[in-house]
Amino acid sequence: MSQDYKSTVFLPRTDFPMKAGLPSLEPEILKRWDDMDLYRRQREAGKGREKFILHDGPPYANGHLHIGHALNKILKDVINRCRQMTGKDAIYVPGWDCHGLPIEWKIEEKYRRAKKNKDDIPIVQFRRECRQFAEKWIDVQRDEFKRLGILGDWDNPYTTMTFAAEAQIVRELGKFLMNGSLVKGAKPVLWSVVEKTALAEAEVEYHDHTSTTIFVRFPVAKAAMPELEGAAIVIWTTTPWTIPGNRAIAYGGAIDYALIKVERTAEGGQAAAGQTLVVAESLLADMAAAAGITEYGVVHRCKGDDLAGTVCRHPLHGNGYDFEVPVLAADFVDTDTGTGFVHIAPGHGADDWELATRHGLPAPETVDGDGRFLDEVPLFSGLHVFKADEPVVTALRQAGALLASGRLTHSYPHSWRSKAPLIFRNTPQWFISMDKTGLRRTALEAVDKIRFFPPSGKKRLRGMVESRPDWCVSRQRAWGVPITVFVDNKSGQPLRDPKVLERIVEAVEAEGVDAWFTSDPSRFLGPEHAAGDFVQVMDILDVWFDSGATHSFVLEPRPDLEWPAALYLEGTDQHRGWFQSSLLESCGTRGQAPYRAVLTHGFVMAEDGQKMSKSLGNVVSPQEVIGKYGADILRLWVVGSDYSEDLRIGPDILKQQSDIYRRLRNTLRFLLGNLNGFDESERLGESEMPELERWVLHRLWELDRLLRRACGDLQFHPLFTELHNFCAADLSAFYFDIRKDSLYCGRADSPTRRAARTVLDRLFDHLSAWLAPFICFTAEETWLARNPGAGESIHLRQFPEVPEDWRDDVLAGKWLLIRDVRKVVTGALELARADKKIRSSLQAAPVVFADSRYHEVLKGVDWPEICIASGVEVKAFDKHCADNNADLFSLPQEVPGVAVEVRLAEGEKCQRCWKILDDVGGDSDYPEVCGRCAGAVRHLMAAAK
Ligand SMILES: [Zn+2]
């Protein structure tokens, strides 16, 4: 009687599809999470546990998400989920940054396109439009973030523009006002004449810019030594338009200077024979060449310090610039380029301003917000600074002060928004002093207590805090929280009255920031102060102050959160942005940092390492990846990358990720298929399991340790590589491969099959949980395939505990050797198959020659099972092997001392398990199969009756 043996084989059975179809599957899972209110369910599950608060750095609400947003939020989500699954209550409140220039700019653009002037629009209406713009993009971004699988309190996010947030920002600023660290000053700030505002350092980009360069003579009026009488000091600058603002000249005390007498000049040269000029000796030749001086004699040499006390005249002396220009020592002067003298315009440079202030020199305001010279500037009033270079050069030439002019392309600050070149402009601004009340010292002490991932972040933030200037917090714009300060007309000092502050806070809380701009000042000043005695400040706050204060209106007041946060996590650029503004705001008001740890990640580059740009066509958008591959692929990319450096993404990398995904999915599918109908009664105790199963459990123990370490160190890519290798190499190519025979063909109640199914169940339990923070959609799909039910979610689970007694180092060492031997056998069988000697490994019965180091290991191992062969003969590796090496297969480098000869198995082929064995036909009921298979079929038939 011939049997249909195929139906007696336990082939894997599952509805879990091979192809994921993530782009359409993920939205279904999202809907399920929404319906079951997964975030709320997690909070219930986590009630009473220790809280973990990752405080979200607010993205700016002004456009679709780009790949950098995706990286940032996925990393946050992975960490939150890992914390939740390691026994914490990971509460995550996402937020948005809403005020500031980018949105204001967009609304202005809209008006410009409609040929309307922004200044004609009522300011309240303008701000309302900014608010609506932000609201629109918050909704868009919220959906896009959710689509990435980011779990958080999306129904109750925070924004910097709620009235409550605005009021708290006013209150926080009030703390700086009251303690005396908010000060009014005039200082050159980087200024955009296009946006008409001061820019923060984080808003500045450096690009190449071609400038006019000039060499200018400053005639000596008061000589510190007789040789200087009648001479002129030569300066060089790349910003001729700053000459009207010149008030001093700086030299380096240790620099060698030379006094030269011009003897002959080239035709058309600006220098004249007989002139005496002072320049740094090392730059003398360059200057002479530029100025067309063909012959000269060095009359005198001196050190910079010898020049102390010298005073020059302004080169435009006699044209309204009739003041003295002192020559001062400064340590920022060098001899890299120029003349070794720096022209000092205190209103147009940070170094200039500091030097002038130290010497009590004025820092005149020469330029208005549009970039035009003020009326009081002689010769140039009303001229735009970007058009002033030529007129200045002409005036200098006419005054006989110009020695040479030229062009230079160099790196120059530009606005990140309008891309327009910036200028340093002296403006009245509000500052938070770094030193007046010890803010710098407090902040530096706080930095020392913070943990940084990677650790290099500490030095970076520390260095920035150490050297940063006072924080310029004022902006001359409309869309933001006002600097709610009144300045006393007489004293010029800000009014520090807590009652006034409280009235302002109350008004903003009820009506938003419009209250400040639309109310009569008496509303805030109250009966105590006469409105006529004060000027109301109409500047708004730097948005970095808003976001720097999020801890005060998110972490502190929300009962579900905690202050300080456990972690802030953003791109490395935030050392000078949010990490720093939050640190300073909090140290200035609370004396400590609002976070205990900081994690920074790199930027996302294109596949070839280039910056992504529309013109290069290498931009990868998260929406595109999700549409083509699914969010889980993007998440895999994040956890598989070393985020501490810049990350790369592009078509090839995404293809690799999707291959990795397929391998993970196949592993999960194998587990589901072979656990079909698994019953608790099949479960076998670990002590009764074969060594192979115990080895798998040991690997689970190892991986569990790695997982917990990764969750502690917040570094996932080494873990992820290991998890992937485990699935691909340890399971698919080894354990599953070996156990297919028992799983498919073994007797249902055989100990090997029961042990295997018990371990598969463990594997499913662990792998599905371990993958949950990473590929959150697929993990859910997997979990539901095995545990269908309305309230079920893998994301309500924790990482399963791994019993300590799964660890077996001795066994692990032994199986390393076994796998080495197997590698040689597999190699030999593959070669035989390629040579068409065999079609399947089951046709072979290889002979393994192994030297003494393997003898112990080889004993008691079911080698045919391990090698998936019909038989294996083990022999000693002796001289005979060495001599006949040519006929044997070996991997002498990788696995020395092992060689394999492939021989064909002898016997009959079992029609059920396809092994070639000599007991096929031994059972008269089932003559086509081997003894094991006959038993299995008989057992199956009996069970079916
Ligand atoms: Zn068989």
* 196 C-alpha to ligand 1 centroid (Å): 85
Burial of 208: CB neighbours in 10 Å, binned 0-12, 13-18, 19+: exposed
Cβ neighbours, 10 Å, residue 230: 11
Are both 741 and 779 inside the same structural domain?
yes
* 870 C-alpha to ligand 1 centroid (Å): 10
pLDDT in tens, 769-795: 999 999 999 999 999 999 998 788 999
The string of DSSP codes covering 795-853 is GG--PPP--GGG--HHHHHHHHHHHHHHHHHHHHHHHHHHTTS-SSGGGB--EEEE-GG
Q: What is the sign, positive or negative, of the torsion defined by CA atoms of 311, 322, 341, 185? A: positive
CA 927 to chain centre: 67
* 256 C-alpha to ligand 1 centroid (Å): 96
Q: Is residue 926 situated within a structural domain?
A: no
Burial of 421: CB neighbours in 10 Å, binned 0-12, 13-18, 19+: middle
What is the radius of gyration, based on Cα positions, of the chain? 38
The string of DSSP codes covering 762-789 is HHHHHHHHHHTTTSHHHHHHHHHHHS--
CA 713 to chain centre: 16
* 913 C-alpha to ligand 1 centroid (Å): 4
Question: Which ranges of 603-683 does DSSP label H, i.e. alpha helix?
Answer: 622-628, 631-639, 651-674
Phi and psi torsions of 716, nearest 5°: -105, -20
* 921 C-alpha to ligand 1 centroid (Å): 10
- Domain boundary residue among 416, 439, 459? 416
Range of the domain at 701: 12-17+648-807
Are both 797 and 755 inside the same structural domain?
yes
Q: Would you mind telling me the total number of residues written for the chain in this entry?
A: 945
* 138 C-alpha to ligand 1 centroid (Å): 64
pLDDT score, position 270:
83
pLDDT score, position 883:
67
* 687 C-alpha to ligand 1 centroid (Å): 27
Strand 232-237 relative to strand 204-222: parallel, antiparallel, unpaired? antiparallel
* 644 C-alpha to ligand 1 centroid (Å): 53
* 928 C-alpha to ligand 1 centroid (Å): 9
Q: Which two tokens stand for residue 433?
A: 């002093």
Are both 752 and 778 inside the same structural domain?
yes
End-to-end CA distance of the chain: 19
CA distance 935 to 926: 9
* 871 C-alpha to ligand 1 centroid (Å): 13
Domains held by the chain: number: 3
Are both 245 and 305 inside the same structural domain?
yes
* 732 C-alpha to ligand 1 centroid (Å): 22
Burial of 233: CB neighbours in 10 Å, binned 0-12, 13-18, 19+: buried
* 931 C-alpha to ligand 1 centroid (Å): 7
Are both 264 and 411 inside the same structural domain?
yes
* 688 C-alpha to ligand 1 centroid (Å): 24
The neighbouring-strand residues paired with 424 are: 190
* 5 C-alpha to ligand 1 centroid (Å): 10
Burial of 285: CB neighbours in 10 Å, binned 0-12, 13-18, 19+: exposed
Q: Which two tokens stand for residue 629?
A: 């591959």
Q: Is residue 438 situated within a structural domain?
A: no
* 936 C-alpha to ligand 1 centroid (Å): 9
Q: Is residue 252 situated within a structural domain?
A: yes
Which helix or strand (DSSP H or E) is residue 126 part of? helix 123-147
Are both 846 and 764 inside the same structural domain?
no
Q: Please answer whether residues 623 and 144 qualify as being in contact, where contact means their C-beta atoms are separated by less than 8 angstroms.
A: yes
Query: Residue 791 is part of a domain; what is its CATH number?
Result: 1.10.730.20
* 833 C-alpha to ligand 1 centroid (Å): 22
* 120 C-alpha to ligand 1 centroid (Å): 90
Within the chain, which residues score under 50 in pLDDT? Answer: 1
Are both 744 and 858 inside the same structural domain?
no
Are both 802 and 820 inside the same structural domain?
no
* 75 C-alpha to ligand 1 centroid (Å): 50
* 663 C-alpha to ligand 1 centroid (Å): 29
Q: Is residue 824 situated within a structural domain?
A: yes
* 818 C-alpha to ligand 1 centroid (Å): 25
* 933 C-alpha to ligand 1 centroid (Å): 4
pLDDT score, position 884:
66
Q: Is residue 369 situated within a structural domain?
A: yes
Q: Which two tokens stand for residue 659?
A: 């291959």
Are both 662 and 795 inside the same structural domain?
yes
Query: Residue 868 is part of a domain; what is its CATH number?
Result: 3.30.2320.20
* 669 C-alpha to ligand 1 centroid (Å): 25
Query: Residue 271 is part of a domain; what is its CATH number?
Result: 3.90.740.10
* 321 C-alpha to ligand 1 centroid (Å): 106
* 12 C-alpha to ligand 1 centroid (Å): 18
* 738 C-alpha to ligand 1 centroid (Å): 15
Q: What is the sign, positive or negative, of the torsion defined by CA atoms of 425, 428, 431, 435? A: positive
* 915 C-alpha to ligand 1 centroid (Å): 6
Buried b (16+ CB within 10 A) or exposed e, 390-400: eebbebbeebe
Cα→Cα distances 928→354, 631, 841, 871, Å: 98, 50, 20, 19
* 746 C-alpha to ligand 1 centroid (Å): 9
Cα→Cα distances 676→14, 71, 669, 679, Å: 7, 37, 11, 9
pLDDT score, position 1:
42
* 744 C-alpha to ligand 1 centroid (Å): 10
Q: Which two tokens stand for residue 210?
A: 């071609």
Are both 842 and 762 inside the same structural domain?
no
* 903 C-alpha to ligand 1 centroid (Å): 20
- Domain boundary residue among 764, 786, 807? 807
Buried b (16+ CB within 10 A) or exposed e, 883-916: eeeeebbbeeeebebbbbbbbebebbbbbbbebb
* 309 C-alpha to ligand 1 centroid (Å): 105
Q: In 3D, which of 238, 203, 235, 206 has the Cα closest to residue 219?
A: 235
* 294 C-alpha to ligand 1 centroid (Å): 102
Interacting residues of 136 by C-beta distance below 8 A, sequence separation 6+: none
* 916 C-alpha to ligand 1 centroid (Å): 8
* 8 C-alpha to ligand 1 centroid (Å): 11
pLDDT score, position 550:
98
Q: Is residue 668 situated within a structural domain?
A: yes
Are both 793 and 736 inside the same structural domain?
yes
pLDDT score, position 882:
66
3 state DSSP class of 895: strand
* 1 C-alpha to ligand 1 centroid (Å): 17
Q: How many CA atoms lie within 13 A of 114 on its CB side?
A: 10
* 760 C-alpha to ligand 1 centroid (Å): 23
Are both 839 and 862 inside the same structural domain?
yes
* 759 C-alpha to ligand 1 centroid (Å): 23
Cα→Cα distances 711→88, 716, 799, Å: 12, 7, 11
* 937 C-alpha to ligand 1 centroid (Å): 10
Q: Is residue 461 situated within a structural domain?
A: no
* 560 C-alpha to ligand 1 centroid (Å): 62
Cis before residue 773, ω within 30 degrees of 0? no
pLDDT score, position 497:
97
Q: Is residue 731 situated within a structural domain?
A: yes
* 748 C-alpha to ligand 1 centroid (Å): 14
- Domain boundary residue among 785, 807, 829? 807
